[in-house]
Structure 1
């Protein structure tokens, strides 16, 4: 059993064959999908998918790239979406200093507001980080609280950054880049993350793993990520699949195929 903890199934690249994409993934052993929105509209699309499919769960949030148009004023609308039981996280949120579509202070202000929303709603967060590791980790540490947990989506930093995220209760998720032959630093991190903090994802339709790099990604290929992690960690693929599925269910409070209703991150599964 595998759990794709991050896939953008509302993307236009799945418009003509989403049913086939989902069927391929299920045939490959994928039993769950978290679909994170990047703005209000895609959050609504993710939620619509989750309402249609029992194995799909939604996350809602304002991605830093969306802040060219969205703003802090949109956070209350995101908050309203989190009331739906099919929403299992606030995300995808974070900082992006590569594209810099909004001033960095604005990105930080909106991230902080959404971290506080997650604490209020007792939901985990899905964190995007591109070229902003020091500020992302600093803000997470400043907002750290027992009720705040989450996942560093498609982790791309080094081991010291990973240690700081682990220290405040966050999970580390790996996608296609961990399979790239030149990505030695990331592979070293993947070998060291504790069993109970490890997640896998595809970030579909982006970042397809080796040997399919450059092609449209899809959730079926989360198995290729699990296979690489097994190799790096000296574990079997079945072990990695079991660990990462159990971790995803615990983080997103999913029990028996439905979102657990209890408050807090430590729901027995």
Structure 2
């Protein structure tokens, strides 16, 4: 049995707070059957340092892009540099990109333009996009449609939206990724979505260092805990943990075909 953490920010985990080294964190993940990691960029300025921190590990893949809450913050690089940076062999995805109207309504136009550009680069490089969406359901789906996101495919990560949005995304050949939020008692709507979701369209993630699942809620998250997300999904769907591990790993391999899993 093996798991893939399909979305984590290894460079943002406070290892000193955990009292462990990077190697120890990776070993703990291995002991919990986590065998591959997709380390996700939130800005292009931070991208080189992110890669440097984890590049020694063959089981770590990377994305390259600009989080919607960080648009217009990069000084060293611009979106014009995205195709070149994302052409690296270890970069298997574009993003994370998307729309966040919950935390930032001041940058909506810039977010939308950045999102469209990320999809364009995904299509150009034939690499899937990683989409962050919050309080922007209609615009997210609309921009995906308008820019032919079904061509490069992708994933709505850390999904907390409606079943209707999940269906619309799947209609565009997208996957849905579930984080530790699904284990929270108040995540009733999300749990219902997961029950309805076909297993062959699901991914699992930690979004480390954020959103640690029960029983670690409130603490710093890390890749080892993705197993707890899988266990909860297995219980919700009435299938074995082995089945969830097998299918979500296969789904990751299908979507992120450039990754060596």
State the TM-score, normalizing by the size of structure 1: 0.90
Q: 1:125 to 1:233 in 2, by over 3 A?
A: same
CA contact 1:36–1:58 (8 Å) conserved in 2: yes
CA contact 2:154–2:255 (8 Å) conserved in 1: yes
User: Where do 1:159-170 residues align within 5 Å?
Assistant: 159-170=163-174
Which of residues 52, 57, 61 is equivalent to 1:53? 57
Which of residues 141, 144, 148 is equivalent to 1:140? 144
- The count of aligned residue pairs is 256
Q: 1:10 to 1:102 in 2, by over 3 A?
A: farther
User: Where do 1:98-109 residues align within 5 Å?
Assistant: 98-100=102-104, 102-109=106-113
**1:226 correspondence with 2:230:** yes
Q: 1:210 to 1:146 in 2, by over 3 A?
A: closer
Unaligned runs of 5+ in 1: 258-269
Aligned to 2:256: 252
Q: Structure 1 residue 123: deviation in Å?
A: 0.3
State the TM-score, normalizing by the size of structure 2: 0.93
**1:97 correspondence with 2:101:** yes
Q: Structure 1 residue 81: deviation in Å?
A: 1.1
Aligned to 1:6: 7
C-alpha separation between the residues in 1 aligned to 2:148 and 2:198?
A: 20
RMSD of aligned residue pairs (Cα, Å):
1.7
Q: Structure 1 residue 145: deviation in Å?
A: 5.0
C-alpha separation between the residues in 2 aligned to 1:145 and 1:95?
A: 15
CA contact 1:174–1:225 (8 Å) conserved in 2: yes
C-alpha separation between the residues in 2 aligned to 1:56 and 1:98?
A: 31
SS of the residue aligned with 2:39?
Answer: strand
User: Where do 1:19-168 residues align within 5 Å?
Assistant: 19-70=23-74, 74-100=78-104, 102-144=106-148, 146-168=150-172
Deviations 1:62-94 (A, max 9, x none): 1111125239x7112222111110000001111
Q: Structure 1 residue 50: deviation in Å?
A: 4.8
SS of the residue aligned with 2:58?
Answer: coil
Q: Which moved more, 1:96-105 or 1:205-214?
A: 96-105
CA contact 1:67–1:101 (8 Å) conserved in 2: no
Q: Structure 1 residue 147: deviation in Å?
A: 2.4
Q: 1:166 to 1:57 in 2, by over 3 A?
A: same
Deviating above 4 A after TM superposition, structure 1's stretches of 4 or more consecutive aligned residues are none
C-alpha separation between the residues in 2 aligned to 1:18 and 1:101?
A: 36
SS of the residue aligned with 1:10?
Answer: helix
Deviations 1:230-252 (A, max 9, x none): 01111111100010011111111
CA contact 1:68–1:102 (8 Å) conserved in 2: no
**1:18 correspondence with 2:19:** no
Q: 1:247 to 1:48 in 2, by over 3 A?
A: same
Unaligned runs of 5+ in 2: none
